[in-house]
Amino acid sequence: MKKLIKRFFDNEVLSYLFFGAAATLVYMSTRLAIFALSGHTTFSTITANVTAVLFAFVTNDTVVFKQERKGWQKRLIKFALARSGTLLLDIVLAQVLVDIYPNIIGQFVGNNRSLINSIESLFSQVLIIVLNYIFSKLFIFENKK
């Protein structure tokens, strides 16, 4: 069993998908909890994104892309910049699909705002996982141990 787990995490794509799913769970639970408490789309999106980005950087840097400790600050800055771009995309999608045009999704869920927010969140996270892998692989994590 240990060999199987090691082989799984030695595969960069599988490891990235696993930790991407974990980061998505961190994101979704944070966003939905903050949204339930505050009702503010942008605040819940930003808070969830920051929390998930910090989790993702640590797991990507140490486990997925197996980076040397040296230079982590530079990678963190590049990672944060790339994730800021996907945060902007996340905010735009949330504003457009939850706040401005909720009927696009709402027509399928009885205009339930919480369901609209949940569906938009899941949609945006799938898109963002793909974009973040491309940015990480091509621009951020270049040096392996």
Q: 3-57: per-residue pLDDT in tens? A: 999 899 999 999 999 998 999 899 999 999 999 999 998 899 889 989 999 999 9
Place of tokens 């705002």: 113
Q: In this model, does residue 145 exceed pLDDT 70?
A: no
Nearest in space to 136 (alpha carbons), one of 70, 69, 94, 85: 85
How many domains are there within the chain?
1
pLDDT for the residue 87: 86
Domain containing residue 126: 2-140
Does 68 fall in a domain? yes
pLDDT for the residue 25: 95
Arithmetic mean of pLDDT, 112-140: 93
Model pTM greater than 0.85? Answer: no
Distance CA 112, CA 93 (A): 17
Q: 64-106: per-residue pLDDT in tens? A: 999 988 999 999 999 999 999 998 999 999 999 999 999 999 9
Does 145 fall in a domain? no
pLDDT, greater one: 78 or 126: 78
Does 19 fall in a domain? yes
In this structure, which amino acid lies at residue 4? L
**Structure letter (DSSP) for residue 139:** I
Does 21 fall in a domain? yes
